[in-house]
Amino acid sequence: MPKVAIIGASGFTGAELLRICAAHDALDVVVATGDSQAGVAVADLYPSLAAAYPDLRFAGYDPATIDGVDLVFLGLPHGASQDMVPALTGRVGHIVDLAADFRLSDPGLYPQWYGEEHHVPELLADFVYGLPEFFRERIANAALIAAPGCYVTASSLALGPLVKAGMVEPTGIVIDAASGVSGAGRPPKPNTTFCAVDEDFTAYGLLTHRHTPEIEQAVTSHAGVDVQVLFTPHLAPMNRGILATIYARPQPGVDAEAAMACLADAYRDEPFVVVSDRSPSTKATLGSNSCHLTVRVDERTGWLVAISALDNLVKGASGQAVQCANLALGINETTGLAVAGLYP
């Protein structure tokens, strides 16, 4: 059974990785680090994990504890992974990074969108972008994987097949997406406390959100056409979930039936993508690794509208990371991952 280390296990994505691995019959978590929680029992910080990890404690990061590990998940804030990966490569068989440190292939985009130069740009080309529905063959047996962001996954899965099929104009695309507060991470911030978020709905990152170039890169790479999007994220008063509404201009002759058939055909054999006439909802995907999609074409206004929903901590982060790890390790891709959401 492959031995797993989760670096940054005390955050929300780390806790979700622990939860998923607890139900995974082929992954054995042997190290869980969390420098801010070093020495704290996992069950004390996350009582929901008490039955699965009654004796596990968060450890401080020490490269020596990683020796002999088959797979490392990095659940760290942006900027930390790029300083850690050089020391990990060669010590472990596979690394799956959940941060944005190795997602963008062009190092010149990091100063523009992340405010600083990339520390190890020579490693960017070694990482495979971890969106299985688009890049499954590249991910299989890959040693280094950069798992996509949650907004990017929701937007790209809805948009990618339509652009690839030539059904929509690849520029002038507008994406409005809302996320649950867990997407901001576990440490409290002035704008993510209960009193700040409750009974509020706000847009943020106007024109500058970091996922913009990642969405463009993912869809462009999949479709083989240069894509341009205007992306506006919103913070919703809920714990989990992403709902993305995407507006694009359909090509002449493209109607709702053709657009829906395009998505249905693209994902017919995908275990974690649901295409239907139902309007996707975040609650329907809660706790699952599934993404729900639909599409409409409004002949009156000349717009195509695609809608996508997923759980930002599962298909948008930790579940997708495990899906990639399964592929990299030669394990059945769906192992340990739920296709059905929790309800109510």
**By CB neighbour count within 10 A (0-12 exposed, 13-18 middle, 19+ buried), where does 224 fall?**
exposed
Instruction: Based on the fold, state whether residues 178 and 99 are members of the same structural domain.
Output: no
Residue 235: phi, psi to the nearest 5? -105, 120
Whole-angstrom Cα distance, residue 75 to residue 271?
25
Instruction: Based on the fold, state whether residues 120 and 53 are members of the same structural domain.
Output: yes
CATH code at position 72: 3.40.50.720
Q: pLDDT by residue (tens digit) across 167-210? A: 999 999 999 999 999 999 988 888 899 999 999 999 999 999 99
Number of domains the chain is built from: 2
Q: pLDDT by residue (tens digit) across 202-260? A: 999 999 999 999 999 999 999 999 999 999 999 999 999 999 999 999 999 999 999 99
Whole-angstrom Cα distance, residue 317 to residue 332?
19
Does the residue 191 lie in any domain? yes
Instruction: Based on the fold, state whether residues 196 and 137 are members of the same structural domain.
Output: no
pLDDT class of 90 with cuts at 50, 70, 90 = confident
Does the residue 186 lie in any domain? yes
Does the residue 76 lie in any domain? yes
Does the residue 334 lie in any domain? no
Mean pLDDT of the region 148-175: 98
- Which neighbouring-strand residues pair with 146? 97, 129
Does the residue 336 lie in any domain? no
Q: Measured on CA atoms in the order 74, 239, 319, 148, is the torsion positive or negative?
A: negative
Please list the active-site residues: 150
CA 160 to chain centroid, in Å, comes to 15
Instruction: Based on the fold, state whether residues 141 and 155 are members of the same structural domain.
Output: no
Structure tokens at 20: 């998923």
Domain housing 238: 150-312
